[in-house]
């Protein structure tokens, strides 16, 4: 669930761009050939700004043409399929890599080893990450028809009491609709948000803050229509936050289909009762690591170019798209330059973030550790987290 996050991070990145491009352009050529048509509008806007360069600089960039051609040719021929193959081997080997899991830490060790084997300078830097654990999760519609209701707890959600929460249900499509109800119509009830899909940015607020909005009206739990434009009975988890001082109530996703069914039932005036059991637990913070592989530049006093993706994932998929793809195209860009025997002017640093999904925890630790030398250290900073496609 990273589109929102990457937009956020892209702003962070853009603020760190300085207009000296020499080594960077090499890298961007590799990246853009690997990324193909993945770049979305936000990046296009960014790109068009970058390209209003003075004529002298443009000519200098153009002079790198032959080497760029060579990199593209090597990447799309000799290295063809390598990123895909290594990514699929990686996700098959480690599966989900949730913050706080052994699997994430094992995958970090593996990546350090892979980076070393590729001849990069590989190391890790400690980072603090959340350790929220999904437990047993189940729900049942008791009325008007007894049936199983598949749910998926949202990251950071509290669990229910052991016997679960059984309650009457209020179904709304918008926050405004909920606010318009008297508190007495919501108090002690389970609120279902059956919001329409608009866009990730517009719709995700129901997942992010639905629990707090409903808790303030007296709700005892919330169920949120999965934030997706397309569903085959598909449950999407993702992060959510409790507002300071608001009663923490359990929050879980339901499928688009079930949300629409509950909305139809509610609008027909049928009495809906749902029973929710969730054994999710927040175990506080724990230690993890950002994984770093460098290709040293030949200009000793120069700042570094950073290409990055995040290694952690949610626990209910294998994180091949989010963000295995971003991770592997990022570090393979450096690996391929090394394999070609090229040495860039500036150091190129691949960073595989930890703890991204639950709120950029790896990036935050990194920022805290590097903020003192930020201007001196970084030349260009990019994270690929907007999805990758078949090669």
Q: What residues act catalytically?
A: 356
Q: How far is the CB of 1 from its own copies (least distance, A)?
A: 14
Q: How far is the CB of 270 from its own copies (least distance, A)?
A: 8
Q: Which is nearer to its own copies, 89 or 183 (CB)?
A: 89
- Count the site residues for its own copies by CB under 8 A: 19
Out of 36, 65, 135, 144, point to the residue binding its own copies (CB under 8 A). 144
Which residues have C-beta within 8 Å of that of residue 228, sequence separation ≥ 6?
197, 234, 236, 256
Q: How far is the CB of 87 from its own copies (least distance, A)?
A: 11
Q: Which is nearer to its own copies, 231 or 286 (CB)?
A: 231
Helix axes 325-339, 82-94, angle to 10 degrees: 130
- For tokens 């300071």, the residue is 244
Q: How far is the CB of 279 from its own copies (least distance, A)?
A: 16
Out of 261, 276, 311, 386, point to the residue binding its own copies (CB under 8 A). 261
Segment interacting with its own copies, rule: CB under 8 A, options 111-119, 246-254, 262-270, 336-344? 262-270
Out of 233, 271, 283, 374, point to the residue binding its own copies (CB under 8 A). 233
Q: How far is the CB of 261 from its own copies (least distance, A)?
A: 6
Q: Does 114 bind its own copies (CB under 8 A)?
A: no
Q: How far is the CB of 145 from its own copies (least distance, A)?
A: 6
Segment interacting with its own copies, rule: CB under 8 A, options 13-21, 177-185, 224-232, 328-336? 224-232
Q: How far is the CB of 265 from its own copies (least distance, A)?
A: 6
3-state secondary structure the chain: CCHHHHHHHHHHHHCCCCCCCHHHHHHHHHHHHHHHHHCCHHHHHHHHHHCCCCHHHHHHHHHCHHHHHHHHHHHHCCCCCHHHHHHHHHHHHHCCCCCCCHHHHHHHHHHHHHHHHCCCEEEEEEEEEEEEECCCEEEEEEECCCEECCCEECECCCCCCCCCEEEEEEEECCHHHHHHCCHHHCCCCEEEECCCCCCHHHHCHHHHHHHHHHHHCCCCEEEEECCCCCCCCCCCCCECCCCCCCCCCCEEEECHHHHHHHHHHHHCCCCCEEEEEECCEEEEEEEEEEEEEEECCCCCCCCEEEEEEECCCCCCCCCHHHHHHHHHHHHHHHHHHHHCCCCCCCCEEEEEECCCCCCCHHHHHHHHHHHHHHHHHEEEEEECCCCCCCC
Which residues have C-beta within 8 Å of that of residue 330, sequence separation ≥ 6?
31, 307, 308, 309, 350, 351, 352, 382, 383, 384
Binding residues for its own copies restricted to 84-103, rule: CB under 8 A? 88-89, 92-95
Contact flags string 22-61 toward its own copies, x per CB under 8 A: ----------------------------------------
Q: Which is nearer to its own copies, 261 or 295 (CB)?
A: 261
Segment interacting with its own copies, rule: CB under 8 A, options 65-73, 124-132, 263-271, 340-348? 263-271
Q: Does 264 bind its own copies (CB under 8 A)?
A: yes
Segment interacting with its own copies, rule: CB under 8 A, options 65-73, 140-148, 173-181, 205-213? 140-148
Q: Which is nearer to its own copies, 230 or 244 (CB)?
A: 230
Binding residues for its own copies restricted to 303-322, rule: CB under 8 A? 317
Binding residues for its own copies restricted to 370-389, rule: CB under 8 A? none
Binding residues for its own copies restricted to 119-138, rule: CB under 8 A? none
Which residue ranges make up the site for its own copies (CB under 8 A)?
88-89, 92-95, 144-145, 147, 230-234, 261, 264-265, 268, 317
């Amino acid at each position: 669930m990273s589109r929102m996050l990457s937009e956020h991070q892209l702003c962070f990145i853009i603020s760190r761009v300085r207009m000296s491009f020499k080594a960077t352009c090499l890298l961007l050529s590799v990246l853009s050939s690997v990324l193909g048509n993945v770049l979305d509008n936000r990046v296009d806007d960014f790109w068009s700004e970058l390209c209003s360069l003075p004529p002298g600089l443009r000519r200098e960039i153009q002079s790198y043409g032959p080497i760029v051609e060579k990199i593209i040719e090597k990447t799309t021929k000799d290295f063809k399929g390598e990123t895909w193959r290594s990514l699929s081997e990686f996700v098959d080997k480690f599966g989900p890599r949730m913050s706080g899991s052994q699997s994430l830490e094992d995958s970090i060790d593996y990546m350090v080893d892979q980076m070393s084997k590729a001849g990069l300078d590989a190391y890790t830097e400690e980072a603090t990450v959340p350790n929220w654990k999904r437990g047993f999760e189940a729900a049942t519609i008791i009325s008007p028809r007894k049936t199983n209701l598949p749910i998926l707890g949202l990251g950071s959600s509290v669990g229910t009491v052991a016997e679960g929460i059984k309650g009457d249900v209020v179904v709304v499509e918008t926050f405004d609709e909920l606010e318009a109800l008297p508190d007495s119509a919501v108090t002690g009830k389970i609120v279902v948000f059956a919001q329409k899909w608009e866009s990730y940015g517009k719709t995700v607020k129901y997942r992010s803050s639905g629990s707090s909005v409903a808790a303030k009206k007296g709700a005892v739990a919330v169920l949120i229509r999965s934030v997706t434009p397309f569903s085959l009975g598909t449950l999407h988890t993702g992060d959510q936050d409790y507002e300071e001082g608001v009663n923490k109530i359990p929050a879980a996703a339901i499928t688009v289909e079930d949300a629409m069914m509950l909305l139809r039932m509610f609008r027909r005036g049928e009495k809906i009762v749902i029973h929710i059991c969730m054994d999710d637990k927040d175990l506080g913070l724990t230690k993890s690591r950002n994984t770093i592989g460098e290709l040293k530049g030949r200009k000793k006093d120069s700042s570094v170019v950073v290409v990055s993706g995040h290694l952690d994932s949610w626990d209910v998929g294998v994180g091949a798209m989010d963000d295995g793809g971003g991770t592997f195209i990022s570090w393979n860009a450096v690996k391929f330059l090394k394999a070609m025997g090229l040495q860039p002017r500036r150091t190129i640093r691949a960073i595989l973030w930890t703890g991204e999904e639950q709120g950029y925890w790896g990036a935050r630790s990194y920022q805290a550790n590097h903020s003192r030398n930020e201007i001196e250290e970084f030349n260009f900073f990019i994270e690929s987290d907007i999805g990758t496609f078949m090669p």
